Amino acid sequence: MIVKMSRRATLDEIAAVEERLHGWGYKTGKMVGEEITLIGVYGDITRLPTGELQEMGGVDGLIPISKAYKRVAQKGAPGNLLHSAVRIGNVEVGGEELTVVAGPCSVESEAQIMESARLVKAAGANALRGGVVKYRSSPYSGWEGIGANSEEALRNGLQLIVKAGREFDLPTVVEVLDANDVSIYEDLGVDCIQVGEPNSKNQALLNRLRETSLPVIHKRGNSLDIEAYLLWVERIMAGGKENVILCERGIVSPNKYTRNTLDLGGIAAFHYQLSCLPIAVDASHGTGLRDLVHPLTLAGIMAGASMVLVETHPNPLIAKSDGFQGLFPQQFDHLVNACQQVWALRRSIEPLYTPSAAWEQEYEIRMPSDKKRFFGAS
């Protein structure tokens, strides 16, 4: 259920509605737009005293939500959608500016992550990414990360990327594999937790992330359809958590040329129809080919992404993991420049997008006359 407040609703009236809902035992989530405020109501709404709520000061109406992913779901009306913003350290994701998160697939040494952070900062990116423990389906795949062998190793690896991020004033984004490790990430100063594709359906981990104050980037599982993916994201948010970011990183398809098939239609659906959350595009994993990361990243921005995740390394040819998709520093410089230009273009032409709902009523009225005009008298 969504409580739509009127344009004239005061802050006191909005607070009173939330307080009344809390008193009835409901959790709420608030989205503040330029003109109106929407209050999400979470719980068993069959017992909600809708009549009493409707009569409260400042309430414009009640909007039922049929989607199972109620917290993730898009808010507002067609043509006036409300999108939330999420902060990673001092960086806002989903606001007026594009967010670029970049770094190596994995932290390999102090010198390597420091050099990576320097290059990421110099290119104009906003945050530093890097894995400390890497997911491997085979025990023979090799490098499992600098922090894979013990809790002490995990702590040492996390300290390296956090140190590099602070040295260059870059918030840090690090993937977590185990629910029991979340508190270590929190204690050591990681700024954002990433859920990788293999853990997109890890129920214990997602339940644990409800409790963290850190923002979470949830990568879509490569076999999940759109609605199934949003339900898994909903699991993180079910207890009231708001600061979650979607990430499209490619799905399984008959295509075997690229590592995955980047679902650009999914990005557009998330942004324009289905979700209020910011969306990231990860063309590094979406293609697995460094020469395709540039064009697919730009396409993702135009489709609706407000964050890009990119793998780059001081020398990808000696990277211990996924070097084949990591950009050379010069490629990354050019990509950041191109991203900013494409973002400016998208922002300038976005007002030209209008949903079908803006025109359907007019054309429904014209249907009888148009049928007669085009097909003759019935």
How far is 277 from 70, CA to CA, in rounded Å?
12
Query: Which residue type does 330 have?
Result: Q
Residue 46 has pLDDT above 80, yes or no: no
How confident is the model at residue 377, as a pLDDT?
65
Q: How confident is the model at residue 364 (pLDDT cuts 50, 70, 90)?
A: confident
Would you place residue 36 in the very low, low, confident or very high pLDDT band (cuts 50, 70, 90)? confident
* CA 59 centroid distance within chain: 30
The class level of CATH for 86-351 reads alpha beta
CATH 3.20.20.70 maps onto the chain at 86-351
pLDDT of residue 357: 83
The Cα 104–Cα 119 span in angstroms is: 11
Percent of all residues in the chain with a pLDDT value above 90, rounded to a whole number = 77
At 219 the three-state DSSP class reads: strand
- The strand ranges marked E within 177-296 are 192-195, 216-219, 244-248, 279-282
Contacts of 296 (CB under 8 A, 6+ apart): 262, 281, 283, 286, 287
What tokens does 298 get?
């730009």
2-66 belongs to CATH 1.10.3720.10? no
Burial class of 360 by CB neighbour count within 10 A (0 to 12, 13 to 18, 19+): exposed
| Rg of the chain over all Cα atoms, to the nearest angstrom | 23
Question: Is the per-residue pLDDT at 166 higher than 80?
Answer: yes
First-to-final CA distance of the chain? 44
d(CA 206, CA 306): 23
Mean pLDDT for 274-278 is: 94
Task: Look at residue 2 in the predicted model and tell me its pLDDT.
Answer: 85
pLDDT digits (tens, 9 = 90+) for 208-267: 999 999 999 999 999 999 989 999 999 999 988 999 999 999 999 999 999 999 999 999
> Residue 124 corresponds to which amino acid?
G
Determine the Cα–Cα distance for residues 35 and 58; give it in Å rounded to an integer: 13
- DSSP summary character for residue 141: S
Which residue ranges does the chain devote to CATH 3.30.70.1140? 2-66
- Model confidence pLDDT, tens digit, residues 61-100: 887 666 778 889 888 777 788 899 999 999 999 999 999 9
Mean pLDDT value across the chain: 93
CA atoms of 220 and 232, how far apart (whole Å): 9
Longest dimension (CA), the chain: 81
